[in-house]
Amino acid sequence: MRGLSTDWGWVAGLALLCLIPLALGDDEGSSLEDISTVLDNEEAITGLRMWPPNGKRMASENGDYTVRCQYNDSEAQIKWYEVPDEGSERELTEDEVEIEINPESKSSTLTVPQAMVKRGLYRCKVGEQVGEFTYESFFKLVPFTLSNTVIEKDDLKLFCRLRPGSLSDGSPRFSWFKKPEGQPESEGVPIKTNSSDTIDGEPHIKIIQVEDDQSMLKIEDARYSDRAIYGCKVENSYGQMVTAQALVRVKDKLAALYPFIGIVAEVIALCLVIFMCERRKTNDCDDEDDGNEEEEFNGGTPAHGNNSNVRRRN
C-alpha cells in the first residue's frame, strides 16, 4: 500500500510537469511565406529560347549582367548585341565581354562586366530569330525580420534599407504601408505621419528619412491596435520598384511574467499532490499499526482468562 501511494504521487507530479511548457507558449503564429518563381526549364525546345523568359534581368550585387539564349539547331551560331538607350545596335565580341557556349545544351551565355554594362537592351540573334533583354541595375532591399514584437507602451523602429551595391542614382523614393495581419497579399493602406494622432504632442507614427538609401518607421507608445503587417516600398526614376514587409506584434506589459507565474503555479500544484499522497500514506500506516495493536490485545485476553479459570479450579 505504501509503495502504491508513492508511485501514484510521482506519476501525478510528472503529469503536471508536462503542462509547464504550456505556460511558456507564445502566439508567434506562422511565419509569412516567401514565394519564388521558377524561370528556367531545361526541356527540349524548338526555336530560340531566352533566360529569363520574360526578358527582364537585374544586374547582380557585383554589378555584372548575365543572360542566356538557347537554340535547338547545333549548326546555328548565336550572336550578341547591345542597344544603349542612346545609340544603335552593336555586336559584342569575346574580347570585351564573356560569351560561354555550351554545345550540350546548345546555349550561349552572355556576362557583361560592371564596367561595360550600359542601360538599354541586349539582344541574342540566330538567323531571323531575335531575343531581347531589358537591363536593370541592381536594386534590392535588406530583408526585414519577418516577425517583430514590441511591449505595449514601448517604441518600435523598423528600418528600410537598400542593399549595398544597389543603384545609387535614380532618386529612390521610400513609402510605407500597413495591412491586416491575416491579409499579407493585400495591397495595404499607405502610412503617413499623422499630426492629429499624437501622444504628448508627438505623432503616434513617424516616418523619418535617415539617409538617401534608408528610411525609418517609428511607432511610439505601441497599442494593441498597432498589431499588423507593415511594409516598405522603394521606387526610382528608372521604373524599378522593390518591397519588403514584416509582422508587428504588440504584447501586454505583464506578458513576460506569465511564464513565471505559470511555472510557480505548476510547482505549487505538484507539491500539493505529493503532500496529499504522503499524508494518505501516513494515514494508511497509522491504521495498519492500530490494527496490529488491537489484534495483539484481543489475542492476549482469552489466554489470561483461561489461566484465571485454571487457578479457580485448583
Which triple of cell numbers denotes residue 234?
522603394
Express as a percent the part of the chain with pLDDT over 70. Answer: 70
pLDDT of residue 1: 44
User: What CA–CA distance (Å, rounded) separates 133 from 42?
Assistant: 19
Phi and psi angles of residue 21, each rounded to the nearest 5 degrees, phi first: -55, -25
Q: Yes or no: is domain 49-136 CATH 3.40.50.300?
A: no
- pLDDT greater at residue 312 or residue 267: 267
| pTM: predicted TM-score of the whole model, two decimal places | 0.60
Domains 49-136 and 140-255 share a fold: yes
- pLDDT greater at residue 158 or residue 210: 158
What are the residue boundaries of the structural domains of the chain, listed by start?
A: 49-136, 140-255
Q: What is the mean pLDDT of the chain?
A: 77
Tens-place pLDDT, residues 79-102: 999 998 877 899 999 999 999 999
Give the sign of the dihedral formed by CA 180, CA 185, CA 189, CA 191.
Answer: positive
User: What CA–CA distance (Å, rounded) separates 71 from 47?
Assistant: 6
Tens-place pLDDT, residues 15-34: 444 444 433 334 333 332 33
Phi and psi angles of residue 278, each rounded to the nearest 5 degrees, phi first: -65, -40
Q: Which of 174, 157, 240, 246 is nearest to 213 (CA)?
A: 174
Q: How far is CA 295 from CA 167, 284, 287, 288, 304, in A?
A: 100, 17, 12, 11, 15
Burial of 163 (0-12, 13-18, 19+ CB in 10 A): middle
Range from 127-136, 211-220, 232-241, 301-310 carrying the lowest mean pLDDT = 301-310
User: What CA–CA distance (Å, rounded) separates 145 from 179?
Assistant: 17
Q: Are 165 and 62 in contact (CB under 8 A)?
A: yes
Express as a percent the part of the chain with pLDDT over 90. Answer: 35
Tens-place pLDDT, residues 117-168: 888 899 999 988 999 999 999 999 999 998 999 988 899 999 999 998 888 7
User: What CA–CA distance (Å, rounded) separates 111 from 133?
Assistant: 13
Q: Are 67 and 112 in contact (CB under 8 A)?
A: no
Q: Are 91 and 166 in contact (CB under 8 A)?
A: no
**Cell 542601360 found at:** 119
Q: Please state which CATH class domain 140-255 belongs to.
A: mainly beta
